[in-house]
Amino acid sequence: MTQSFCCLCLGLIYLCFFGISLTKHPILSRIRRAPEANEENKKCSYTFLVPEQKITGPICAARGYSVDKDRVTRVDVAGVRDLLSKQRREMETLKLVVDVDGNMVNEMKLLRKESRNMNSRVTQLYMQLLHEIIRKRDNSLELAQLETRILNATTESLRLASRYRELEAKYAALSAVVNNQSVLIGALEERCMQVYSRRHEQSPMGPPMVQVVPENIPVNVPRFTNEIQRDNTQRFARERALDLGHHQQVAPWKLSDAQEAGQSTSGMYLIKPDEAERPLQVWCEQDIDNGGWTVIQSRRDGSVNFFRNWENYKSGFGNIDGEYWLGLEGIYKLGRQGDYKLLVELEDWMDKKVYAQYSSFHLEPESEGFRLRLGTYQGNAGDSLSSHNGKQFTTLDRDKDGFTGNCAHFHKGGWWYNACGQANLNGVWYTGGVYRSKFQDGMFWADYGGGFYSMKAVRMLIRPID
């Protein structure tokens, strides 16, 4: 009975907590309400009847209608139980709703977290997009600058191409003039010979031919030709461009001093020999025999005419990065600085290179006709220069050779002629090697190829004796 009463009390408390009016219930309304302290006070207060004695048995309800209004019947208990069942179901329903709301709250939290992550990701993607836009803009600017540079380079290339065509046309015109001059010179020589023969009543006699049988004769000699190489503009321009890649360097001393100063690259140098009024522009060769060689003569493509007068041979002519003659005065002043030796490089039309080296070399002053002084020979080209040792220099306008005529006229160059000699390295540059001519006027070295074999390339270099 105590347990039933406790359950009843808990039910009443629950009903009071959820605001259910107890006075209207048919059973609970029979419980006497305690007198209100103040009618205006709206608080919920109830008075419960608690038995004074301990109840050990169940509370028995009357089966029928009881006259006693304060007595609880089974119907009342059933009604309370129904009400409690109803409230329990509502509590379960509320619990389910609370569970659902809790899940929704968790889902909302997850959604908020995902939203924050999405916002962060969107911000990151926006920054990447902005960076990509900036990079593309920079690339566009660089592309525009590159296109501008390409256009400028193209314009410059077209300008240079136009200039090159103009120079080529001028060179062709000059070549034509040279050809005409060569023809005119030949005609004048023939006329001079005719006049000379009429005056002396005998046929003109040219200089004796070189009868030396060379020890080294180039094999596979090409066909005979007497044509001077004319069409060499492209090769000459290409080689000139390559040579101009070497920067000119200033060395106001001997080239050997420049080499000791650490300048070990081949190229153009400015040197000032002793007693020279102004510096000389020379080509220094550092790639053969430990370097330090000064090139005093270079022949390789026939681009420079070597049939010149005394003043030209004295002061020098040609292009320092191509074919040139340093000048007798410059060679003489270089030789006064010390003891020099001479190296002669020869290349035939089979691209074979040979050399002749002389242990000493110098020239005497102009008052002595720049007389040649040589030492002993060594090499593999044969000694074709010793026969010119001690001879003065001869040009077309200053005859100092040992022949009755002028060897420079017959050999088309300037040289230390004897009568006339075994070498003519300043003669005509014929293409193909073997040539046909009335006189031996090619660029020959008698001991290598004979008098009718014109070399492909020749260089004369000097260096102080170690």
What tens digit of pLDDT does each residue of 161-185 get?
999 999 988 888 887 787 777 778 8
413 inside domain:
yes
Contact predicate 308/327, CB 8 Å: no
Residues 165, 263, single domain; the answer is no
Q: What is the pLDDT of residues 292-314, one digit of tens each?
A: 899 999 999 999 999 999 999 99
Residues 259, 188, single domain; the answer is no
At residue 426 the predicted structure's pLDDT band, cuts being 50, 70 and 90, is very high
Residue 213's alpha-carbon distances to 207, 222, 288, 419, 448, in angstroms, are: 18, 19, 30, 18, 9
* Cα 129 from Cα 329, distance rounded (Å): 75
Residues 174, 265, single domain; the answer is no
211 inside domain:
no
Strand partners, 372: 363
Residues 355, 271, single domain; the answer is yes
Whether the pLDDT of residue 39 is over 70: the answer is: no
Q: What is the rounded (10 degree) CA torsion for 100, 106, 111, 112?
A: 130
At residue 48 the predicted structure's pLDDT band, cuts being 50, 70 and 90, is low
Query: What is the CATH classification number for the domain harbouring 442?
Result: 3.90.215.10
Whether the pLDDT of residue 50 is over 80: the answer is: no
Residues 273, 382, single domain; the answer is yes
Residues 160, 262, single domain; the answer is no
Burial degree of 83 (CB within 10 A; 0-12, 13-18, 19+)? middle
- Kindly state the helix (H) or strand (E) to which residue 77 belongs, with its residue range: helix 74-200
* Cα 344 from Cα 346, distance rounded (Å): 7
Residues 147, 264, single domain; the answer is no
317 inside domain:
yes
pLDDT top residue among 367 and 216: 367
pLDDT top residue among 263 and 67: 263
Average pLDDT, integer, range 422-429: 94
Whether the pLDDT of residue 206 is over 80: the answer is: no
At residue 265 the predicted structure's pLDDT band, cuts being 50, 70 and 90, is confident
Of 168, 195, 222, which residue constitutes the final position of a domain?
Answer: 195
Residues 382, 458, single domain; the answer is yes
At residue 230 the predicted structure's pLDDT band, cuts being 50, 70 and 90, is very low
- Kindly state the helix (H) or strand (E) to which residue 280 belongs, with its residue range: strand 280-285
At residue 236 the predicted structure's pLDDT band, cuts being 50, 70 and 90, is very low
The pTM of the full predicted model, rounded to 2 decimals, is 0.53
At residue 97 the predicted structure's pLDDT band, cuts being 50, 70 and 90, is confident
Residues 185, 265, single domain; the answer is no
pLDDT of residue 198: 63
At residue 289 the predicted structure's pLDDT band, cuts being 50, 70 and 90, is confident
pLDDT of residue 98: 86
pLDDT of residue 56: 56
pLDDT of residue 199: 56
Of 133, 160, 195, which residue constitutes the final position of a domain?
Answer: 195
217 inside domain:
no
- Residue 95: domain span: 82-195
Residues 155, 255, single domain; the answer is no
Q: What is the pLDDT of residues 392-407, one digit of tens each?
A: 999 999 999 888 889 9
Location of structure tokens 């650490």: 262
214 inside domain:
no
137 inside domain:
yes
pLDDT of residue 384: 93
Whether the pLDDT of residue 60 is over 50: the answer is: yes
At residue 203 the predicted structure's pLDDT band, cuts being 50, 70 and 90, is very low
pLDDT of residue 28: 44
Most confident by average pLDDT, 6-15, 56-65, 273-282, 345-354: 345-354
pLDDT top residue among 447 and 36: 447
Strand partners, 225: 435
Of 153, 170, 195, which residue constitutes the final position of a domain?
Answer: 195
213 inside domain:
no
Tally of structural domains, the chain: 2
pLDDT of residue 207: 75
Looking at residue 449, the DSSP 8-state letter turns out to be B
Residues 155, 303, single domain; the answer is no
Q: What is the pLDDT of residues 362-379, one digit of tens each?
A: 999 999 999 999 999 999
At residue 222 the predicted structure's pLDDT band, cuts being 50, 70 and 90, is very low
DSSP 37-74: S-TT-----------SSPP-SPPPPPSS--S-TTPPPH
* Cα 51 from Cα 138, distance rounded (Å): 97
Average pLDDT over the chain reads: 78
Whether the pLDDT of residue 36 is over 80: the answer is: no
- Kindly state the percentage of the chain with pLDDT values over 70: 69
Whether the pLDDT of residue 112 is over 50: the answer is: yes
Whether the pLDDT of residue 434 is over 60: the answer is: yes
pLDDT of residue 4: 47
Residues 6+ apart with CB under 8 A from 269: 248, 249, 250, 251, 255, 258, 263, 281, 282, 283, 284
452 inside domain:
yes
